[in-house]
Copies of this chain bind each other. A is one copy, B any other.
């Protein structure tokens, strides 16, 4: 049975840990800067054998895998403070962090075996996620390691894809648009409705239909609405309606202009 050390205890680490705990891989240790968080994750998993720690020096050096699942700007410091004697495969789970974070600026490898295991999904603590639908995007420093990460990833999801760092970055940027920014559009809609004493529930069928369309068609081909029809009169009415809300009306105009140009 392959052994694994988990570094991190946030949303992604939590969802990953839960899935790994159901696989053939064994979590030996959970590290967190804050020991309480590591304990909480251990308790959540309900696995008494897991050792929790808040000191990177105490990480065992003979595990098969080390998964660094921390906020992006903490990865480098973790990498630099891991025991140098680690021979196992060290992976980070970040979309926008180049694999070369495991190299010195000279290009020399900091560790023998390293790579990336990036699950493309939006994880929130409140909601279960179906791992079967999550694409795992992998990259490693050698073909041998690629095979090992592929096996690990396949134990978590059937969708495993080899991407280079630039492709992974593009995927992350695309995810920001189609997830985080989409959600922000929902936030604005909710705000506008609320101000007019209308329930967000009213617009949920539309949200579902819009997403459903994108699941089966190219979004470029199914665009509708005032901007797609170049209906300047309605656009002006909406801008008038949004008077006083500077950022929202600016966003309305900018996105409408882009849709009218049809430039993407």
Chain A residues packing against B (C-beta within 8 Å)? 11, 71-73, 96, 120-124, 126-127, 129, 133-135, 161, 163, 166-167, 169-193, 195-198, 200, 202-211, 213-215, 217-220, 222-229, 231, 233-234, 237-238, 241-242, 247-248, 250-252, 254-255, 258-259, 263-264
- What are 27 A-to-B residue pairs whose CB atoms are below 8 Å? A121-B206, A122-B209, A126-B222, A135-B202, A163-B198, A166-B196, A169-B238, A169-B241, A171-B196, A171-B203, A173-B242, A176-B226, A178-B203, A178-B207, A179-B207, A181-B252, A182-B182, A182-B185, A182-B186, A184-B264, A187-B219, A188-B264, A200-B219, A247-B254, A247-B258, A247-B263, A251-B258
Top 8 nearest A-B pairs (CB, nearest first) are: A180-B225, A211-B211, A186-B219, A170-B196, A174-B189, A133-B205, A178-B189, A177-B189
A124 near B222 with CB under 8 A, answer yes
Shortest Cβ distance from A107 into chain B, in angstroms? 20
Given the contacts A170-B198, A182-B207, A254-B250, A72 and B175 also touching, CB distance less than 8 Å? no
Q: Is the CB of A219 within 8 A of B167?
A: no
Cβ contact within 8 Å between A209 and B129: yes
Q: Which residue of B lies closest to A200 (CB)?
A: B218
Q: What CA separation (Å) do A169 and B11 show in the bound complex? A: 38
User: Known: A72-B233, A233-B73. Is A177-B173 also a contact (CB below 8 A)?
Assistant: no
Tell which of B193, B234, B255 touches A181, judged by Cβ atoms closer than 8 Å: B255
B120 x A224 contact (CB < 8 A): no
Majority DSSP secondary structure for residues of A touching B? helix
Instruction: Report the minimal beta-carbon distance from A16 to chain B, rounded to whole angstroms.
Output: 15
The residue from B127, B174, B219 contacting A213, defined by CB atoms under 8 A apart: B127
Q: How far is the CA of A105 from the CA of B246 in the complex (A)?
A: 30
Contacts of A225 in B (CB 8 A): 122, 175-176, 179-180
CA distance A153 to B208 in the complex (A): 21
Give the complex CA separation of A207 and B206 in angstroms: 14
Contact (A71, B229) CB under 8 Å given A224-B122, A254-B254: yes
How many Å lie between the Cα of A201 and that of B184 in the bound state? 22
